[in-house]
A and B are shown apart, each in its own frame.
Chain A
Amino acid sequence: MKAKQETPLLFRKHRAEEWIGRIYTTFCVTLLIVVIFSIVYFVASKGVSTFAVNGISLSEFLFGTEWLPDNNQFGALPFIFGSFITSLLAAVIASPLSVCAALFMTEIMPSWGKKVLQPVVELLAGIPSVVYGFIGLSVLVPFLRDIFPGQGIGVAAGSLVLSIMILPTITSIATDALGSLPRNLKEASYGLGATRWQTIAGVVLPTVMPSVLTGVVLGMARAFGEALAVQMVIGNAPHIPRSLFESASTLTSVITLNMSNTVMGSAQNNALWSMALILLFMTFVFVFVVRLLERRAKI
């Protein structure tokens, strides 16, 4: 009798909890969706007006090499090229280092690696980008200037700074992937008489490759979007550089340099928004590639 009376009360209480939880989480998700869509809408509407309002042709914007805002010439190819070359080079420099560091931490010296190396790598991720930029400008640029011909400033300095910045991203993703590798795979390899290097090269690396690539793509996405540190060391000349040690620009650096100096609604300001739209579009591409890789990693 007693139990019969209490059950509905408890039931009602849980149902209320259920509803509060559901409403609260739905609200949070809706907020996120609204914010994301507003940002995309805002950037897209501003970015499209370069072509719709100011009458600049899309092909001229994407493939033109002349950036002369005073003459209404907005060729953004030097910036697009700069962004791609710096983030690609950064990934090329950082990936082998990160993968080897991850292998060291998981396969070769798990105890010491986990205790000392992992916190150090995570610390790298926490350093603000302006610190990287300043160190790049004060240490790396003079160093490059002394060793190589040129001004020290340029794509080489930019990619080196970026590669240090994306190291932790790639390393921690690769470490996680290696850590979650089933034990029996390795043991089977050892059981067949393979050495540690044969096991790593023939079994471990091929198995975790999709996850490592996910890390590389995420690292590239970070490098592509990084503004401050790159802007300080790349030189920012609106031209396609002829060497790695010559002043160049990226999409982000030209936006940060000019956005505050131009008036909203002017053609140059709109052109900067179009570049922001390209950045946003590239982010979608990176996310898409990561999704594809993740699907491959599961199979």
Chain B
Amino acid sequence: MKLKKSVLLALTLAFSVSLAACGNNNNSQGSSASNGSSASNNKSAETKLSGSIIASGSTALQPLVDQAGKKFSETNSGVSIQVQGGGSGTGLTQVSEGQVQIGNSDVFAEEKIDDASKAAELKDHQVAVVAMAAVVNKEVGVTNLTKQQLVDIFTGKITNWKDVQGKDQKIVIVNRPGSSGTRATFEKFALGQKAPDLQGSIQEDSSGTVKKLVKETPGAIGYLALSYIDDTVQPLQYDGVDATADNVAAGKYPVWAYEHMYTKGEPDATTKAFLDYMLSDEVQNGDVVEMGYIPVSKMQVVRDVKGNVTNK
């Protein structure tokens, strides 16, 4: 019995030591890699970039960064770029803890991270704009809603489409979960207030499912990023303004948000080169437009953390 116990103890010790060793290994590898890349960059700035970049976070931004990352690695063979999903919260957590170089987010870090000093450490790089529109089931017979009508629908004051010149049909709200960045944007800029989770409302996180439900459920209303909208659902005008890229860029259509790529402090040379590439004309006028986002360079207005919009 005594022998067994000591064997068990020894094994546990060995296991924990090996685990700890693994952890150390990773750390030292990570730091040596970044040291190496910065050192080589200091020596000769014009020689090839090297190192690895890991970006994680927003699934809305993931496909764009992924595609741009692949192109960037093709021209800079020493650089490997990994793009992971996980959601805006995950991206901000990981970049703030230094686990990844870039944290992708749909919202400003200040809105997600309670600890102001932690949020202040993060440097914002706005790479694209995503606009969204309220969409309804094609059968309800409504194509335009005012801000007040939208607020009344999402707060439960209006429950039938006939009250907004539609058919006599019950309204079914297809919302996003309370923590979703898309929902935060919609509430902030389309409704101008927080909307409660109504009894009987549906909540789905993925844009694909939201689209499917709005398409199939009679009387459904939801909201989608412009890139997801096609002719199976009816996009709504907002106060009479069409949800188009041009209207967003001109500052006429207010329901949009920046896509952010956060770094902790100033990025290292490799990461900076990649972020510059994201903002280059090649990506902004190519991949960004192609994948349904709006280029930051096209925007004629600027918006700050508090939501104040000013002309550029």
Contact = CB atoms under 8 A, between A and B. Distances in A.
Nearest to A258: B179
Interface string A234-266: 011111011000110100001001111111111
Interface string B187-212: 00000001011111111110001001
B11 A260 contact: no
A269 B200 contact: no
Contacts of A67: 178, 197
Interface stretch (A25-33, A163-171, A191-199): A25-33
B177 A236 contact: yes
Contact of B202 (A31, A236, A259, A260): A236
A23 B7 contact: yes
Given A26-B11, A263-B93, A246 B200 contact: yes
Contacts of A264: 89, 93
A268 interface: yes
B227 interface: no
A145 interface: yes
Given A69-B179, A237-B197, A142 B216 contact: yes
Contacts of B125: none
B38 interface: no
B6 to A, nearest CB: 11
Contacts of B177: 236, 254, 257-258, 261
B179 A145 contact: no
Q: Which of A31, A137, A237, A242 lies at the interface centre, i.e. has the most chain B CB atoms within 10 A of its CB?
A: A237
Nearest to B196: A68
A99 interface: no
Contacts of B15: 30-31, 34
A268 B196 contact: no
A70 B194 contact: yes
A277 interface: no
Contact of A247 (B8, B16, B89, B201): B201
A232 interface: yes
A275 B7 CA distance: 37
B212 to A, nearest CB: 7
Contacts of A174: none
Interface string B210-230: 001100111000000000000
Contact of B197 (A141, A239, A242): A239
A68 B177 CA distance: 11
Contacts of B7: 23, 26
Nearest to B107: A261
Contacts of A246: 199-200
A177 B203 CA distance: 42
Nearest to B90: A260
Contacts of A266: 112-114
Residue of A23, A238, A246, A269 with highest tally of chain B CB at under 10 A: A238
Centre residue among A23, A30, A68 by max chain B CB count within 10 A:
A30
A235 B89 contact: no
Given A142-B216, A261-B87, A263-B89, A247 B181 contact: no
Interface in A10-63: 23, 26-27, 30-31, 34
Interface string A68-106: 111000000000000000000000000000000000000
A238 B198 CA distance: 8
A155 B18 CA distance: 47
Given A247-B202, A263-B89, A238 B197 contact: yes
Contacts of B87: 259-261
Interface in B222-278: none
B180 interface: yes
Contacts of B166: none
A229 interface: no
Nearest to B119: A263
Given A27-B11, A239-B197, A261 B181 contact: yes
B12 to A, nearest CB: 6
Nearest to B172: A151
B101 interface: no
Contacts of A249: 203
Contacts of A242: 199-200
B180 A261 contact: yes
6 contacts: A137-B209, A237-B199, A239-B200, A246-B200, A261-B181, A266-B114
Interface of B: 7-8, 11-12, 15-16, 85-90, 92-93, 112-114, 172, 177-181, 194, 196-205, 209, 212-213, 216-218
Given A235-B202, A238-B178, A242-B200, 8 more contacts: A27-B11, A34-B15, A151-B200, A237-B198, A247-B202, A261-B205, A263-B92, A267-B114
- In the A-B complex, the 3 residue pairs with the closest CB atoms: A260-B87, A261-B179, A236-B203
